[in-house]
């Protein structure tokens, strides 16, 4: 299997041969308008969550002329996710938790308003409600397994904020969508926001420096486990922060054997981050990382993933783990992305 497994406890066997639902929760963060914390290209950042999910669902971005790109012009990780869901014909459920631009595809609306300015501890005032909505949505959705990702530009900064706010040693350990992870800047943003948190309670921390994707995904994952269905948090350090949120709300979920986290090899090997250590601090949960063979790609934008561009997002790592378990291999995904690259990015 082209998947690195850490602390595997039989989870993959449970995920195998299930009819998976891929869901992706999207949000924008107001802070990205004022502070360059995100690795997503500034020219497309407000459109990125919508355009990512249009690509995953339809095979083309409608809200932009081409799928999103990062600051160095490399393709969105939604290209990987599109390959996996199309090749396996998986159902996709888009959940809006406050994207600036709304996707031009059917989606579930949980919150229209974007995440606020985390510099002032004003991310949201409704994290508890968002958590409940995520729980209700997942309880009432049919699937044999749930693979849940995110598209939240600036989301590695909110991940840092929430993990620090909950007391984790995360300072130098959070990844980024950019080659140059602006660590000092991200830290100063969240440190000023945390000061305005009402307390150390998980919902107060989320309200101050989280993003709206986090309580929604936490609720969705908890409902999945309560329904006895395996759930894969599809992401890197952003999903680690969701795992920490789940652990605060219901620590038994982590011990259920029904929850895992899966990212890409690019995040796991990121020298500017330490996902493995963060997961170890949170609990006894299996961590996976999908391989892609992108070092062999003929396309520079894909090769650049190996040098720190993009790395992860839109559930790319997790949906690939699921797809490798269910018949695909890295070449299937790479060839699909390479074949479509010209069409997607010709504009
Ligand atoms: C999602 N779409 C993307 C992308 N992501 N398109 C281009 N580049 C990305 N990196 P940061 O905190 O640096 O903004 O990184 C998190 C974002 O990068 C998220 O939106 C994630 O899904 C990914």
Please report which confidence band the pLDDT of residue 288 belongs to, taking 50, 70 and 90 as the band edges.
very high
Ligand 1 nearest-atom number relative to CA 152: 20
Could you report the predicted ipTM of this complex, rounded to two decimals?
0.99
In the prediction, which pLDDT does 254 show? 98
Q: What pLDDT does 347 receive? A: 77
**Ligand 1 contact via 97 beta carbon (within 6 Å):** no
Task: Give yes or no for residue 154 CB within 6 A of ligand 1.
Answer: yes
Token reading at 56: 């995953």
For ligand 1, whether the C-beta of 115 sits within 6 Å is: no
Residue 232, token pair as written in the block: 């894969």
For residue 240, CA distances in Å to 140, 163, 217 come to: 25, 8, 11
Segments of 224-273 assigned E as strands: 231-234, 259-264
Q: In the block, which residue shows the tokens 């969705």?
A: 220
Cα separation, 18 vs 8, whole angstroms: 18
Per-residue pLDDT tens over the stretch 169-194: 999 999 999 999 999 999 999 999 99
Cα 275 from Cα 307, distance rounded (Å):
17
Sign of CA dihedral 258, 259, 264, 269: negative
Query: Which residues in the chain belong to E strands, given as ranges?
Result: 3-6, 20-26, 92-97, 108-111, 145-151, 231-234, 259-264, 287-290
Mean pLDDT in residue range 240-262:
98
Tell me how far the alpha carbon of residue 310 lies from the centroid of ligand 1, in angstroms. 6
Cβ–ligand 1 distance for 151 under 6 Å, the answer yes
Mutate to test the pocket of ligand 1, among 22, 40, 239, 309 (most ligand atoms within 8 A of CB): 40
pLDDT tens digits for range 92-149: 999 999 999 999 999 999 999 999 999 999 999 999 999 999 999 999 999 999 999 9
Q: Average pLDDT in the 20-40 region?
A: 98
| 66-99 residue pLDDT tens | 999 999 999 999 999 999 999 999 999 999 999 9
Q: What torsion, rounded to 10 degrees, do the Cα atoms 252, 253, 255, 256 define? A: 120
Q: What is the dihedral of CA 39, 44, 47, 52, to 10 degrees?
A: -60
Measured by CA distance, the residue closest to atom 5 of ligand 1 is 313
> What's the pLDDT tens digit per position in 305-319?
999 999 999 999 999
Q: How far apart are CA 126 and CA 203, in angstroms?
A: 8
Give the mean model confidence (pLDDT) for residues 252-272.
98
Centre of ligand 1 from the C-alpha of residue 152, in Å: 6
Is there an atom of ligand 1 within 6 Å of 315 CB?
no
Instruction: Note whether 17 and 326 are within 8 A (CB).
Output: yes
Which of 153, 163, 182 for a ligand 1 pocket mutation test, highest count of atoms within 8 Å of Cβ?
A: 153
- Give, using CA atoms, the residue closest to atom 2 of ligand 1: 76
Alpha-carbon gap, residue 29 to 238, rounded angstroms: 14
* Residue pair 155/225 in contact by the 8 Å Cβ criterion: no
Read off the pLDDT band of 202 (50, 70, 90): very high
185 vs 119: CA distance, rounded Å: 11
**Tokens describing residue 87:** 């090749």
Give the Å distance between the CA of 220 and the centre of ligand 1: 21
Rounded Cα gap, residues 126 and 104, in angstroms = 26
DSSP strands (E only) in 172-277: 231-234, 259-264
The pLDDT of residue 37 is above 90: yes
Give dist(CA 132, CA 216) in Å, integer.
8
Calpha distance 326→63 (Å, rounded)? 32
Quick check: pTM over 0.90? Answer: yes
Protein residue whose Cα sits closest to atom 15 of ligand 1:
177
Compute CA distances 21 → 138, 235, 253, 340, whole Å: 11, 16, 20, 23
Q: From the CA of 267, how far away is ligand 1's center (Å)?
A: 12
Answer whether residue 330 shows pLDDT above 90. Answer: yes
pLDDT over 70, % of the chain: 100
- Say yes or no: CB of residue 230 within 6 Å of ligand 1: no
């Amino acid at each position: 299997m082209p998947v690195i497994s850490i602390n595997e406890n039989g989870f993959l066997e449970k995920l195998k041969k299930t009819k998976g639902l891929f869901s992706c929760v999207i949000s924008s963060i107001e802070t990205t308008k004022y502070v360059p914390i995100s690795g997503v290209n500034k020219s497309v950042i407000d459109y990125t969550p919508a355009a990512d999910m249009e690509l995953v669902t339809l095979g083309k971005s409608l809200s932009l002329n081409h799928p999103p790109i990062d600051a160095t012009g490399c393709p969105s990780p939604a290209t990987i996710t599109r390959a996996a869901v199309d090749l396996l014909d998986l159902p996709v459920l888009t959940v809006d938790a406050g994207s600036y631009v709304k996707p031009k595809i059917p989606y579930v609306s949980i919150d229209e308003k974007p995440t606020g300015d985390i510099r002032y501890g004003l991310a949201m005032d409704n994290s508890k409600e968002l958590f409940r909505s995520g729980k209700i949505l997942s309880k009432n959705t049919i699937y044999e397994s749930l693979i849940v990702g995110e598209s939240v530009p600036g989301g590695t900064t909110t991940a840092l904020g929430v993990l620090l706010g909950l007391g984790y040693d995360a300072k130098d350990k959070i990844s980024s969508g950019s080659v140059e992870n602006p660590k000092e800047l991200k830290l100063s943003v969240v440190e000023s926001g945390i000061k305005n948190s009402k307390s150390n309670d998980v919902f107060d921390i989320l309200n101050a420096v989280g993003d709206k994707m986090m309580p929604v995904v936490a609720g969705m994952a908890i409902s999945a486990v309560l329904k006895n269905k395996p759930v894969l948090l599809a992401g890197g350090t952003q999903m680690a922060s969701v795992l920490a949120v789940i652990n605060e709300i219901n620590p038994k979920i982590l011990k259920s054997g029904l929850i895992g986290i899966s990212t890409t090899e690019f995040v796991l090997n990121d020298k500017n981050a330490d996902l493995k250590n963060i997961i170890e601090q949170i609990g006894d949960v299996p961590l996976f990382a999908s391989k892609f063979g992108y070092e062999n790609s003929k396309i520079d934008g894909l090769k650049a993933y190996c040098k720190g561009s993009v790395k992860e997002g839109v559930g790319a790592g997790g949906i690939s783990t699921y797809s490798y378990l269910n018949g695909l291999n890295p070449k299937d995904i790479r060839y699909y992305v390479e074949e479509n690259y010209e069409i997607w990015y010709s504009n």
